[in-house]
Amino acid sequence: MVPTGAYLMVSAIIFSIGAVGVLTRRSALIIFMCVELMLNSVNLTLIALSRQWGNFNGQIFVFMIMAVAAAEVAVGLAILIAHMRHSKTTNIDEINLLKW
Amino acid sequence: MSLAFFAVIAAISIAAAIGVISSRQPVHSALFLLTNFATLAVLYITLDAQFLAATQVIIYAGGIVILILFVIMLLGSEDLPADESRPWTAWAGIVLGIIMLGGIATGTMGAFDSVEIPTTELADGTIVSQLEGGVPKAVGMELFTKYLLPFEMTAILILVALLGALLLGRRPEGESPLDNEQLAETSGD
């Protein structure tokens, strides 16, 4: 049986890759995908620890995270489309109307 | 044997994640994301979470990636510009990512080596996991008895998100699809 620490390590690597993507890329769509990467890495952590402790708490939490992530992607992409209607750019450096 | 299988699937997953953040075209990033989701679903099956593996494929691979591809289609898949505002941005991001990974790894490296995974012994002596493989019946028993309230609130959350996305995606009053410049050009000739 594969040790739990191995799954946690894979999850940490994917989380770091997602975080680097959010910091480095400037297109809003790519940032969305990197946020989904981070959410999935946390899902992997929760399921691995659910097996570690032998109860279903982690798996139920992952179920809730999946539902919330689906809702968040729908609303986030709707916001992006609404913004693109009058701005024609997905570059987050140029989405700065609220900047003081 | 299972360790070798896990190593191969984890390597594919990490390579796909690197592909997501380093692709020039958004469509390539979306396909790398799809690969990452599929490999994670395989890892869930090895972790006694079969219902969640199916849910992962249905919701993430079959819903969210399709949504992202639709948005890429609507917004026009332009090649993302390669010039950064500052040339050292990518390197700063990678260094910060390595520092964060080191911090997480020192906390989780070998954390559970001495803790045993609990198993139960059936009547005929076979040893099974307490999660019963994560089959829908076992998850459902837990979800509909102990976690009934969060389940119903998730339904309300999805309804609110649906209404919100619908409202945000509407065109402003008085604007027809033919006001779009591209459509006007193509219908002109």
Nearest to B165 among A6, A74, A93 (CB): A74
Question: How far is it, in rounded angstroms, from Cα B18 to Cα A17?
Answer: 7
The helix or strand, by DSSP H or E, that contains position A7, with its residue range, turns out to be: helix A4-24
- Using 50, 70 and 90 to split pLDDT, how confident is the model at B39? very high
pTM of the predicted structure, to 2 decimals: 0.88
Task: Tell me the count of A-B CB pairs closer than 8 A.
Answer: 231
Which of B2, B27, B40 is best to mutate for the A interface (most A CBs within 10 A)?
B40
Nearest to B6 among A2, A40, A80 (CB): A2
Q: Is B34 on the interface with A (CB under 8 A)?
A: no
Question: How far is it, in rounded angstroms, from Cα B117 to Cα B113?
Answer: 10
Q: Is A92 on the interface with B (CB under 8 A)?
A: no
0.85 surpassed by complex ipTM: yes
By C-alpha distance, which of B2, B76, B103, B92 is closest to B46?
A: B2
Question: How far is it, in rounded angstroms, from Cα B18 to Cα B33?
Answer: 10
Residue ranges of chain A with pLDDT lower than 70? none
Q: Is B30 on the interface with A (CB under 8 A)?
A: yes
Pull the structure tokens for residue B44: 């869930």
pLDDT of B78 reads 60
Pull the structure tokens for residue A54: 């032998």
Question: How far is it, in rounded angstroms, from Cα A27 to Cα A73?
Answer: 15
Question: How far is it, in rounded angstroms, from Cα B104 to Cα B100?
Answer: 6
pLDDT of B57 reads 96
Over residues B99-156, the pLDDT tens digits come to 999 999 888 877 777 777 777 776 676 667 777 778 898 899 989 999 999 999 999 9
Question: How far is it, in rounded angstroms, from Cα A25 to Cα A40?
Answer: 19
